[in-house]
Amino acid sequence: MKITFKKMHLLNNHFIVIDGVNQTFKPNTKLIREWATRSDMGFDQLLLIEKSRHKEAHFYYRIFNANGSEVGQCGNGALCVAQFLASENLSKENHIRLATRTSFIELQLANDHQITANLGTPIFTPEKIPFTGFSRGPIHTLETPFGSFDGCILSLGNPHCVLQVDNLETAPVAELGDYLNQSPHPYFPQGINVEFMKIINPKRIDLRVYERGVGETQACGSGACAAVIAGRLLNRLKKKVDVHLPGGQLQVNWPGNGASVLLTGKGAAISEGEIDCS
């Protein structure tokens, strides 16, 4: 059986997007891993749009990492999904609500094709992230083979550990990311996305992100949001922040505790094709 797909990106964060409303696709870990490394497909995440399973949502949004694991959140992916829904005439709404396996995402499409995703309120409760071995509170000191780091640990439907560093070029992104995603890890039983943040001024941060199940990526929307939340909790950032990643810039808006975090950006289509998934 063959299915059609579209390859998209946002700041060189690459996605394969599949319409699971008008065609049938049953995710297969082995196939996803194979497709992720193909020269004509290569992606960080595969995004599957299905009919809604909830009265409160227009569509069900599923995210699969390059290693085939299914996760509950992908901010940049959500922005690309909104654009895909509009371009494929799957939705004519300017306001779209997606349900994922862990949360809901509100998407607002503007006339200039910029899209804003409401990723909800951050979760700091340890068992809901999940993480173990620390006292309550979002900021914790992590002792690792690569040094001591003060990490802000939270969830936005997927788990994040934000580390503030002085030098992004020398930060042990791959090494520490791998270490914190050892399976099973005593602190992060489901793995963790690790953000390395350098605060430039109250309205700008530079960021590198290690995504669980993928490795370092050129951009990560939920990681950008997690980093701004961490910087705000440290009283070092304004509520609107430009986040500069290797792939480009995103804008994040978080007013503070109890408020939803907003991510703004614009995806782009790269190619489309058809593939045998039998």
Please report, in range form, the residues annotated as the binding site: 13, 45, 65, 75-76, 158, 193, 211-212, 221-222
- The answer to whether 42 and 53 are in contact (CB under 8 A) is no
Q: Determine the Cα–Cα distance for residues 255 and 226; give it in Å rounded to an integer.
A: 13
46 closest CA partner among 245, 275, 248, 243: 275
220 catalytically annotated:
yes
Residue carrying structure tokens 């799957």: 90
> Could you confirm whether 74 is annotated as catalytic?
yes
Backbone angles phi, psi at 224, to 5 degrees: -60, -40
Catalytic residue among 80, 152, 161, 220: 220
Rounded to the nearest 5°, which phi and psi values hold at 83?
-65, -40
74, 80, 161, 225: the active-site residue: 74
* Residue 237 · residue 255 · CB < 8 Å: no
Residue whose C-alpha is closest to residue 120's, from 267, 278, 262:
262
Q: Which residues are annotated as a binding site for substrate?
A: 13, 45, 65, 75-76, 158, 193, 211-212, 221-222
Beta-bridge partner residues of 16: 7, 46
Residues marked active site are found at: 74, 220
